[in-house]
Structure 1
Amino acid sequence: MLVALIIACEVGFWVLLAGGLALRYLLRMPRLGAAVLLCEPLLELVLLVASFMDLKNGGEPSWRHGLAALYLGYTVGYGHYTVKWLDGHAAHRLAGGPKPPGAKYGRERAVHEWKLWARTLAGAAVALALLQAGVWYVGDAADTGALRDWQLVALRVLGIQVVVAATYSLWPRKAPAGAERASGEEGILAGKDR
C-alpha cells in the first residue's frame, strides 16, 4: 500500500503542477492556479503520516519506508525549485514571458551546480532525519537494516552530486566560439537600435 501511495503522490504532484500552470497561463486564473500549486505540500504530509502509521501498526521497516523518506527529502530539496523552473518555462511558452535564464557555461554553471548540491544536501538531511526517526521509532522491535541501507543511499546521492559540482568547478565548460560571436553580435545590434 505504501508503494501505491508513493506513486499516487508523485502522480498527484505532476497533476497539481500541470493543473496549476494551466489555470495560471491557459485559463488566465493566476490566483486559482497559485492556490492549486500551494496544495502540493499536502501530498507529502499525507505520505509522511502514512509511513509512520504503517510503522506504528506493526509494519516491518523496509525499502518502501526508505523510498518514502527519499521522496520526501527530494520534495523538500527540489520541490519549490522544480515548480519555479516549470512556472518560468510555462510563462515563456504560454504567456509570452521572457525566456528563463540558464547557466550553461563557465563560472555561472559551476555556481548553479553548487546550488543544486545545496538542494541535494537539504533533501538528504531530511531523508536521513526521517530514516533515523523511523529507526528510533521502531527501536529494537524490528530489523532496521533496510532503513540504514537507505541512509547510505542518501549519502551516496549526496556524494555523486558533490563530484558533479566539483567537475564543473575544476573543468568549467566553455561556450562554443559561435555562441560567443552570436551574443556579441546581438549586443552590437542592440546598441544600434538605441
Structure 2
Amino acid sequence: MTAIAWLIVAVEIGFWVFIVSGLAVRYILGKKRAGFWLLAMTPVLDLILLIATTHDLMNGATASQAHGIAAIYLGVSLAYGRRMIRWADERFRYYILKKGPKPAKMHGFAHARESLKGSLLHAAAWILGGGYLAAMIALVGNPGRTEALEQILKVWTLVAALDLAISLSYFIWPRKPKKDVPS
C-alpha cells in the first residue's frame, strides 16, 4: 500500500476514535465542552488528508486509486460528517448508555424522504470530492499522471446517479414495514 493509502486508513481510524472518545467524554464523563472539541477534531483529519494528497500530486506523484479514494473520503466526510456524528450519538445514547429512544426503522414516505436526503448529501459529496479531483487533474496538467483520478470520477458519477435513482424509486415503490415474526 502507498503512503496515501495508509494515511486514508489512519484518518478513518482517527475519525472514529475522535467520535467515540468525544461521545464517551460527553456522556460518560459529563464533560460536554471537551466532548465537543474531540468531535470538532474530525475536520482537522480531513485537512491533513487534503494537504498530504495535494502535496504528493504536486510533487510529481502519479495519481493512484488511493489519491482518488482520498478525494471521495474528503467529499463524503465533509458532506455526511454531521449526519454520521448524529447517527453515532443516537446509537451511543441508546445502546451504550441505555438512554433515549431506540433508533427508528423507517418505511413508506418517511424512508423515501430520508433516502433522498442521503442522496442529496451524496451529490454534495460528489461536488466537493469531484471538484477536488477536477482541480488536481487541472493543476497537475498531465493526463498520463491523472488517469486514475479521471477513472474514479467517472465511476463515482455513475454511483451517485444510481444512488439518486434508487432513492427516487422509493417514492414509487415505498419500503413496507416489516411484519413481526411470531415466536
Letter in 1 for 2:34: L
TM-score by length of 1: 0.85
Counterparts of 1:176 and 1:94 in 2: how far apart (Å)? 25
Counterparts of 1:158 and 1:95 in 2: how far apart (Å)? 36
**Does the aligned pair in 1 maintain the 2:43–2:78 contact within 8 Å?**
no
Corresponding residue pairs, total:
179
The structure 2 residue matched to 1:85, chosen from 69, 84, 87, is: 87
Paired position in structure 1 for 2:139? 137
Paired position in structure 1 for 2:56? 54
Deviations 1:118-174 (A, max 9, x none): 110011111110000110111137432111101112212202211220221111122
Q: Is 2:68 aligned against 1:66?
A: yes
Q: Cα RMSD between the aligned structures?
A: 1.8
Unaligned stretches of 5+ residues in structure 1 = 180-194
Paired position in structure 2 for 1:160? 162
Deviations 1:23-65 (A, max 9, x none): 1112221211111000110000000000110012111122121
Q: Indicate how the Cα distance of structure 1 residues 119 and 103 shifts in structure 2: closer, same or farther if over 3 A, else same.
A: farther
**Does the aligned pair in 1 maintain the 2:61–2:145 contact within 8 Å?**
no
The structure 1 residue matched to 2:104, chosen from 102, 105, 113, is: 102
Letter in 1 for 2:149: L
Deviations 1:95-132 (A, max 9, x none): 45421553511111110110000110011111110000
Counterparts of 1:66 and 1:44 in 2: how far apart (Å)? 14
Deviations 1:49-105 (A, max 9, x none): 001100121111221211110111110121110011111221233445421553511
* Residue 176 (structure 1) shift: 4.7
Paired position in structure 1 for 2:33? 31
Letter in 2 for 1:93: Y
Higher helix residue share: 1
Q: Indicate how the Cα distance of structure 1 residues 148 and 60 shifts in structure 2: closer, same or farther if over 3 A, else same.
A: same
Mark the structure with the bigger radius of gyration. Answer: 1
Counterparts of 2:102 and 2:80 in 1: how far apart (Å)? 18
Counterparts of 2:49 and 2:179 in 1: how far apart (Å)? 49
